[in-house]
Structure 1
């Protein structure tokens, strides 16, 4: 039988299974312990922070963006977006601080990241990525700026926006994005040059 040995074969001295009349067996033993699953509460910090932002409870300043009001908390801004916090400190006498040159959707996405590190959905990110990058750089949200830069490097550079992204990257000191944009732009220029050269060669000789 497979995996077994008969007694006669085991005792046969010609088979040399025994050593000085002794049989040595090696075995591997595995033990399985059925441990009970312990319940642990879900981390709700992000949800709680978003609820705080949306409710405006105990806020100490209001931003006005294109007619939309956002009630914020300056201690959170001081840690997560220091330039926004400076706007609050510089307008202590005003109840509202008006923010120009930023879209409402972009500013809301910025605040949601500041409070809960929530990134926009992928489809929305593709639309507002460059504007959100500008806002993150403008208001001192460095971690968001780096995340958007990585996202643009991964999937956002195309022939239609390479030049704009390269200019934005240079203006906002985005080294990784600038390198990627320059490489893409350089490749496109070289490709266009050889394509134009091939057409000229074709029409000239044929």
Structure 2
């Protein structure tokens, strides 16, 4: 009943609301033909020939052609071309493109485009009527007069204007809630029903049916055993190093991608601290390391990390080191360094001294790192080493060793 209630609540959840802001350009083009170019020459620097006004995006625009150039410093060496805002408006943002048409048919047009550079500089802002965008040195006049752009004393200029407009779509966009993936439950059914199974594992006399492709996809060790072995196709494999419940938990993860829900697993946190390696979760960690199940190993590390204490940390550190559990090992080292005095008086520290002396050295190196961090960061003023005389931790608290 509890699971059904959770499902119903999930199905009844209200989808989040949403809105959309759309910024785009309203584009329009105009073709400007300048007939009698030679007669326009000499009209004076800064004087222009204007096209008819054309409308784009609710504003009027015009093309200004300066046959003697716009800049007095150029001494009529260049022709100038500009696009001008010809109607009332303030802070009109737009993109522009000016094209001098090649009239030879070779399509080698001279293009100055703002559209291609919009990501670099953004749209151009015209502050008021008469504001312009363009080029004072659009084309060198001597070259223009001997080019294919000038034909029969005629020039053709194409102009494109893209006025930037923004709007908010007030309508609520439809949304579809996608449920969480249920691929694990489907693969779990495949495991439970044994449909299409092609491999049997014999674990202490208990048979487990599975699928080679599923196992090979999840475990590099099993993939190598199935497909890299030169022996004939195996139908049954005997597993001697794992208990049936551990192997079952491993298969559960391989097919469902979750930790098995087992009473023994849930009770591991209340088990004797000094037998952490005998707990089901520790045995699953060992299986994960053996079969290269990285995600399962991390799940076990996360589970075990919740049980770190003064009495358990030493043996848990040894366990993490044995099965390449890097995250759990780092957490144990940090905890041991911060509670050094209490750890050194525990039976677990004697266990490390007798069985894993290298880990004792790693604890002391971590302590040295904590000392350096404290001295440079201005944090805890009390030295870690000062704990050794009074049994306190680095926070100044007295630490009582847990007893069972």
TM-score range, shorter chain: 0.5 to 0.7
Report whether the alignment pairs 1:170 with 2:310. Answer: no
Tell me how far 1:92 sits from its aligned partner. Answer: 4.0
Higher percent of residues as strand: 2
Is there any run of 5+ residues in structure 1 with no aligned partner, and where? Answer: 1-30, 200-206
**Number of the residue aligned with 2:298:** 146
In 1: Cα distance, 2:267 partner to 2:308 partner: 10
Distance 1:93 1:79, change over 3 A: closer
User: Secondary structure of the equivalent of 2:201?
Assistant: strand
User: Secondary structure of the equivalent of 1:156?
Assistant: coil
Question: Which of 91, 99, 104 does residue 244 from structure 2 map onto?
Answer: 104
Q: Deviations over 1:163-187 (max 9, x none)?
A: 2221121122222211211233344
Task: Give the structure-2-normalised TM-score.
Answer: 0.36
User: Secondary structure of the equivalent of 2:196?
Assistant: coil
In 2: Cα distance, 1:40 partner to 1:195 partner: 54
**1:71-82 pair list within 5 angstroms:** 71-82=209-220
Distance 1:138 1:107, change over 3 A: same
Tell me how far 1:112 sits from its aligned partner. Answer: 0.8
Q: Is the 8 A contact 1:61 1:88 kept in 2?
A: no
Report whether the alignment pairs 1:134 with 2:295. Answer: no
User: Secondary structure of the equivalent of 1:47?
Assistant: helix
Report whether the alignment pairs 1:120 with 2:260. Answer: yes
In 1: Cα distance, 2:189 partner to 2:281 partner: 24
**Number of the residue aligned with 1:183:** 334
Deviates further, 45-54 or 155-164: 155-164
**Number of the residue aligned with 1:50:** 188
Give RMSD over aligned pairs: 3.3
Q: Is the 8 A contact 2:216 2:226 kept in 1?
A: no
Report whether the alignment pairs 1:69 with 2:207. Answer: yes
Q: Which has the higher Rg, Structure 1 or Structure 2?
A: 2
Q: Number of paired residues?
A: 169
**Number of the residue aligned with 1:95:** 235
Q: Deviations over 1:126-163 (max 9, x none)?
A: 5321111110010111111112112222x122334322
Q: Deviations over 1:79-121 (max 9, x none)?
A: 1112123333446444310112212111111111101112123
Structure possessing the higher relative contact order (Cα contacts under 8 Å, 6 or more residues apart): 1
Q: Is the 8 A contact 2:289 2:324 kept in 1?
A: no
**1:17-32 pair list within 5 angstroms:** none
Task: Give the structure-1-normalised TM-score.
Answer: 0.66
Higher percent of residues as helix: 1
Distance 1:41 1:152, change over 3 A: closer
Q: Is the 8 A contact 1:76 1:115 kept in 2?
A: yes
User: Secondary structure of the equivalent of 2:327?
Assistant: helix
Q: Is the 8 A contact 1:87 1:97 kept in 2?
A: no
Ranges of 4+ aligned residues in structure 1 off by more than 6 Å: 37-42
